[in-house]
Amino acid sequence: MLAIRLIAEPDRLDVLVLPVRPVDPAAGGDASAEPVSTAAAPPDDTADEATALVSAARLNGRAGEIHTQLRPGRTPGRLLLLGIGDGGEAAWRTAGAALARSAANETHITIALPGELTPAAVRGLTEGLLLASYRYRLTEAGDAPTLDGIDLLLDDPTTFEATVATARTTAAMTHLARDLTNTPSSTKTPQWFVDQVTSAAADLPDLRLRVRGPAELAAEGFGGILAVGGGSASGPRLVEMDWHPADARTHVVLVGKGITFDTGGISIKPVPAMKLMRKDMAGAAAVVAATLGAAALRLPVRITTLAPLAENMVSGSAFRPGDVIRHYGGTTSETTNSDAEGRLVLADALAYAVQQLEPDLLLDLATLTGANAVALGKRTAALYSENDQLAADVLAATEAAGESAWRMPLHNDYAEYLGSDVADLYSAPTQGAGSVLAALYLREFTGELRDRWLHLDMSAPSWADGDQAEVSRGATGWGVRWLLRWLASVD
């Protein structure tokens, strides 16, 4: 990641960035934007130059707007005017992301920041810079970005050290989730995922890790995970991580869907729908990365994370449409669509959490249905919960983190569609409202935690077709940022 320094005196001024904000229309005048007074006075009359450039370039100061001025033979050699909008955290995040991309071919930049700056603004800027500079490639074809150092010029750098450290951890864990999700499935088997988690957890004290393989899953009755993973030469796994600080008062269980590739099984997908199915473990990536981040930040909340991992393949040992699957704890599901596999592995993990872990709160994240994007578009997850406070807290965390979710209804009259003639439940009803029905199915495995459970269908926002603010094309790492904010607030 980018090296970010907090400094009070600049020692390198190749490129200087000065913030610009919109002018309040109520103040009168013809200008639509103005430079912001910074903690350290910019050198070589750049303040006057910036004021003239704002007018000449007709800048409006919106967050992420950038104007570059070349200054041959002078210091700094380049002056960048950066729009910061209303100066809130979200605006600074957008500004940081735009700057990271605009200055990607520089080697070093210095950002002169306002004297009156909140920790939230610094966090937003830092996250924007780090997240937008993310790049995943398996080859080095083409020119790689050269920007490797950024100085934040502040009045009192020590004030913001903890804020930047938190932002750096958040970005690092988001990068990890993106890396895990972007990795091609020719590499990303369930065991490969386990190896990555084991390596990432090795240097974190007090973080315990347990991995169940096929034999243990069979002995303990995890029928859903075994059924979905049964068609692959790469057997399924169940990762269980436990972060248990001594001062924790609340126990949260996080469950993440971890289908390392999804062909659809015998109900095989068409090629266009299959080619991006390496992202079908983005939920597992998010909850694992967030737990690693919580341990790194030493958040005072107990977290047990479950990542059921399987590859849904076509073979003679693949489960069939119409099979009846016995889940952990004994509940049975009739499945007539092997492409609705994610809910089957989640059902096992949820039932295990309820019966063995006794958490205070239970959350699951899953790239579960295409209906998520039909209902809410490509940037917003569908949130389901019967707990108004829990839903409100999570929605507040997603908004603060710059991610997006929308609460959806859990219509009880749809539950009748889950009825099966041969099993306890029918896993994939076809009456429509696919995301809602999938959530209702999962609810059946939450037992006494039904009123403390929250489900996020994150299929749509887990992947981006192009760069957008701090989100880079490909895997987005959706969920890591808001989870870390929410976990830090759990009492």
DSSP single-letter state for residue 353: I
Q: CA-to-CA distance for 418 and 407, rounded, in angstroms?
A: 22
Q: Are 411 and 437 in contact (CB under 8 A)?
A: no
Return the sign of the alpha-carbon dihedral for residues 116, 120, 122, 128. Answer: negative
Torsion, CA 179, CA 182, CA 185, CA 190, rounded to 10? 40
**What pLDDT score does 138 carry?**
82
Q: Are 3 and 130 in contact (CB under 8 A)?
A: no
The mean of the pLDDT values for the chain is 95
Beta bridge partners of 491: none
Distances (CA, A) of 425 to 217, 415, 421: 21, 10, 9
Q: What is the mean pLDDT of residues 247-262?
A: 98
Q: Per the structure block, which two tokens stand in for 319?
A: 């489960």
Q: Is the peptide bond prior to 76 cis by the omega test (within 30 degrees of 0)? A: yes
Q: What is the mean pLDDT of residues 201-205?
A: 93
Q: Is 269 a catalytic residue?
A: yes
The helix or strand, by DSSP H or E, that contains position 122, with its residue range, turns out to be helix 119-132
Distances (CA, A) of 418 to 51, 182, 363, 445: 65, 34, 22, 13
Chain segment 47-81, per-residue pLDDT in tens:
899 999 999 999 999 999 999 999 998 999 999 99
Q: Are 460 and 373 in contact (CB under 8 A)?
A: yes
Beta-strand relationship, 453-457 and 323-326: unpaired
Q: Given pLDDT bands bounded at 50, 70 and 90, which one contains residue 137?
A: confident
> What residues contact 336, with CB distance under 8 A and at least 6 apart?
321, 322, 426, 428
- What DSSP letter does each residue of 259-299 carry, written as one string? EEEE--TTSPPPHHHHTTGGGGGHHHHHHHHHHHHHHHHT-
Distances (CA, A) of 255 to 205, 288, 332, 440, 474: 22, 9, 20, 16, 23
Looking at the chain, the number of H-run helices and the number of E-run strands are 14, 21
Residue 28 has pLDDT above 60, yes or no: no
**What pLDDT score does 243 carry?**
98
**What pLDDT score does 491 carry?**
85
Residue 27 has pLDDT above 70, yes or no: no
The helix or strand, by DSSP H or E, that contains position 392, with its residue range, turns out to be helix 388-401
Q: Are 238 and 288 in contact (CB under 8 A)?
A: no
Chain segment 85-112, per-residue pLDDT in tens:
999 999 999 999 999 999 988 999 999 9
Counting other chains too, the contacts that 27-36 makes at CB distance below 8 Å and 24 or more residues apart are: 31/55, 32/58, 32/59, 32/60, 32/61, 33/59, 33/60, 33/61, 33/83, 34/61, 35/81, 36/84, 36/87, 36/114
Q: CA-to-CA distance for 272 and 26, rounded, in angstroms?
A: 53
Choice among 269, 378, 379, 450 that is catalytic: 269
> Which of 117, 109, 160 lies closest to 21 in space, CA to CA?
117
**Which of the two residues, 233 and 40, has the higher pLDDT score?**
233
- What DSSP letter does each residue of 144-164 carry, written as one string? PP---EEEEE-S-GGGGHHHH
With vertex at residue 154, the alpha carbon angle to CA 481 and CA 94, rounded to the nearest 5 degrees, is 35
Residue 142 has pLDDT above 60, yes or no: no
Chain segment 425-463, per-residue pLDDT in tens:
999 999 989 999 999 999 999 999 999 999 999 999 999
Residue 145 has pLDDT above 70, yes or no: no
Choice among 343, 443, 452, 485 that is catalytic: 343
- What DSSP letter does each residue of 415-445 carry, written as one string? GGGG--SSSSEES---SS-HHHHHHHHHHTT
Chain segment 379-432, per-residue pLDDT in tens:
999 999 999 999 999 999 999 999 999 999 999 999 999 999 999 999 999 998
For residue 82, report the phi and psi dihedrals to the nearest 5 degrees.
Answer: -120, 120
Q: Per the structure block, which two tokens stand in for 299?
A: 């958040």
Q: Per the structure block, which two tokens stand in for 177?
A: 């989730």
**What pLDDT score does 388 carry?**
98
Q: What is the mean pLDDT of residues 170-182?
A: 98
**What pLDDT score does 24 carry?**
76
Beta-strand relationship, 463-464 and 474-475: antiparallel
The helix or strand, by DSSP H or E, that contains position 361, with its residue range, turns out to be strand 361-366
Q: Given pLDDT bands bounded at 50, 70 and 90, which one contains residue 139?
A: confident
Q: Given pLDDT bands bounded at 50, 70 and 90, which one contains residue 39?
A: confident
Residue 141 has pLDDT above 60, yes or no: no
Chain segment 298-324, per-residue pLDDT in tens:
999 999 999 999 999 999 999 999 999
Overall residue count recorded for the chain in this entry: 491
Q: Given pLDDT bands bounded at 50, 70 and 90, which one contains residue 1?
A: confident
Chain segment 325-354, per-residue pLDDT in tens:
999 999 999 998 999 999 999 999 999 999
Give me the residue label for tokens 């080095």.
140
Backbone dihedral region of 440: left (phi > 0), alpha (psi from -120 to 50 degrees) or beta?
Answer: alpha
Chain segment 257-311, per-residue pLDDT in tens:
999 999 999 999 999 999 999 999 999 999 999 999 999 999 999 999 999 999 9
- What DSSP letter does each residue of 1-53 carry, written as one string? --EEEEESS-S--SEEEEEEEEPPGGG-SS-SEEEPPBSSPPSTTHHHHHHHH
Percent composition of the chain: helix, strand, coil (DSSP 3-state, to 5): 40, 20, 40
**What pLDDT score does 30 carry?**
59
